[in-house]
Amino acid sequence: MSYYDEEEPDYYLSQEEVEEIQEEYRKKRLVEALIGPSISTGFHIMLIILLAIFIEDKLKEVKSDIEVKILPEEEVIDIPPPPEPPEKEPEVDVVVKDALSVPNPEPDIDEKALENTEIPDPTSIDNTDFEEVSAIEVSPSSFIDPRIRGANSKGGKTGKAREYGVDERTVTSFDLSLMWLAKVQNADGSWGTDAKSGYTGLALLTFLANGETPTSRRYGKHVLKAMKWLIEDKIDTKSHHAYPHAIKAYALAEAYAMTGNSQLREKMNESIEVIIKGQQEGGAFDYNYKANENRQDLSFSGWNYQALKAADIAGCEVDGLQEAIYKSIEYLKLMGGSERSYAYTTSNSDPDSGKGSGKWTMKAVGTLCLQLLEPGNHAILNDELESMLKEGVNRFDWNKAPKRSLYGWYYETNAMFHAQGKYWRGWRKKFAKEIMANQHREGYWVYPGDNHMPGDDLSKKVYATTLCALMLSVPFRYLPSSKVVNSEKVKESKRKPGGVVVEEGIDLIE
């Protein structure tokens, strides 16, 4: 038998076997294709389940800390619906809060701000930086005038300045002086190194003139610290002839009139009582409040007269205040006019002892104080005002000695403003230009002539700066006692504690 005639070998597969193998291969490939995604899907499902279990456990822990107490049915309170609101809300008198118990903050002056020539707008007294305000009840202020709120914006001040013929540069110069005063305030709230009561009083008056109070946004902290320092400062009538006490009393009265703060009221009353007891029978004052001495000092009397007027406007009710004001007016009338012309010192026993020795600075003191205490058209005032208008404008020269005296210019500027008319028109063209031309770029002034205030160089800069700033602020000042008085309305009003009628119909007699 040939090879080819032999049977087929058994390693050849039949058609059925081939198809069976192919079918198994396809199944295997299908399983391999499905097993990978299935494992991945299962892993992610398991991860989600574990995460859900973890979150649920955490929520159970949080919930376990919450104690739910169900009141018995008989303890459930039936809350009635709120009452219907009234048709019209009752009017409430707004009183400035007592902020003087706020912790003593440190000044936060931006040193670089002084390098800017652009002066930021002053602040509104309605804004506050303080987080705490004392709940101490305060007595109402006699000068709560809604027009003061927000009136010390730069636009408001510029408008008032323009009304009285002073340009915007005056406002800018004044604002720069406030920045400098804020910068050099002592950490305890005072100013100066010696006679601090006087320097601090003048500085506070300058900030008050801008409408600043403890709730002001920019300078509130400085004002607050100054007020607290003055409240804590002990009465001292022995040092520096007691000038500092008179100025401090003046500042306290103005501060109380603008805030209604009870602590200020108490300190004002205490300071004014010293002044009343220290007044001489003839209406003048002598150094250190020597009431029984024969010497009368108009210069020292001037600051005390301003303090009495400010206290009167603030509603001070210290016994003897009205009598003290009456005696002051009689003395000023007696010493004024062409006959005696406001001598610097006179004698109680001999009113003519100073006849003919009146200085221009004392004429200014006597004129302003009489305007403040008894506004009206007096022959005495007219004589002195004519003299000041004729001679004062030429005398107001920063660089010419011995006629330089910021002290005298301070009184003259205020007197001219109160007189208004031709007096103010003639004065305003000279004084602001002369002052602004001599202001240092940082905002302060150096006293041009001799001054009688003690202290170091910085203290004297504070003295000069406050006097200059108070002069510049005259057209837009917010000191209650320095408002221009309507003489006709004064004639119709009766003097009583609480003051007089002031400009634009603001009646301080309630």
63-91 pLDDT per residue, tens: 555 454 544 444 444 445 555 544 544 44
pTM (global) more than 0.85: no
Q: If pLDDT is split at 50, 70 and 90, which confidence band does 116 have? A: very low
Whether 317 contacts 497, CB under 8 Å: yes
Whether 499 contacts 310, CB under 8 Å: no
Cβ neighbours, 10 Å, residue 158: 19
188/134: higher pLDDT: 188
CA 37 → CA 27, 30, 215, distances in Å? 17, 12, 72
Highest mean pLDDT among 324-338, 441-455, 489-503: 324-338
160-177 pLDDT per residue, tens: 656 666 678 888 999 999
104 pLDDT more than 60: no
Whether 363 contacts 384, CB under 8 Å: yes
Q: If pLDDT is split at 50, 70 and 90, which confidence band does 310 have? A: very high
Alpha helices in 164-297 (DSSP H): 168-183, 196-209, 220-232, 243-259, 262-278
Q: Under CATH, which number does the domain 111-484 receive?
A: 1.50.10.20
Q: Among 62-66, 227-231, 300-304, 504-508, which stretch is predicted with the lowest mean pLDDT?
A: 504-508
**Average pLDDT value over all residues in the chain:** 75
443 CB-near residues (< 8 Å, 6+ apart): 114, 176, 177, 178, 179, 180, 181, 465
**Domain residue ranges of the chain, discontinuous segments joined by +:** 111-484
